[in-house]
Amino acid sequence: MVIIDPIPGQEEWNADMVAAAGAGVQLRMPKMAAYTAMQLLTQPERLDAMRAGAKRIGRPNAALNIAKQILRELKMTRIE
């Protein structure tokens, strides 16, 4: 993943976490995005490491789990 100029706050924190896990790289200069992507595409070992990093930190069902929790809480609120 190539993260381009994350917004300060939560987006920046998430970008830091992705980079620290080895799942991506951050760029502060958007004009470097194409160059960086091309460089990554020529480095299969690095891409494999990034995939592994993404799998370590990934939560494939996170959005579904959050939606289910919200629905449970809404149902509880209606009962009360």
Residue 58: which of 21, 20, 10, 9 has the closest Cα? 21
pLDDT value of position 76: 82
| pLDDT tens string 11-58 | 999 999 999 999 999 999 999 999 999 999 999 999 999 999 999 999
pLDDT at 15: 96
Domain total for the chain?
Answer: 1
pLDDT at 22: 96
The structure tokens listed for 13 are: 């924190």
* Domain boundaries, position 75: 2-79
Task: Tell me the C-alpha distance between 68 and 42, whole Å.
Answer: 41
Q: For residue 5, what are the contacts with CB-CB under 8 A and spacing of at least 6?
A: 27, 28, 29, 30
For residue 78, pLDDT over 90 is answered with: no
5-19 CB burial, b ≥16 within 10 A, e <16 = ebeeeeeeeebeebb
What pLDDT, on a 0 to 100 scale, did the predictor assign at position 41?
Answer: 96
pLDDT at position 80: 56
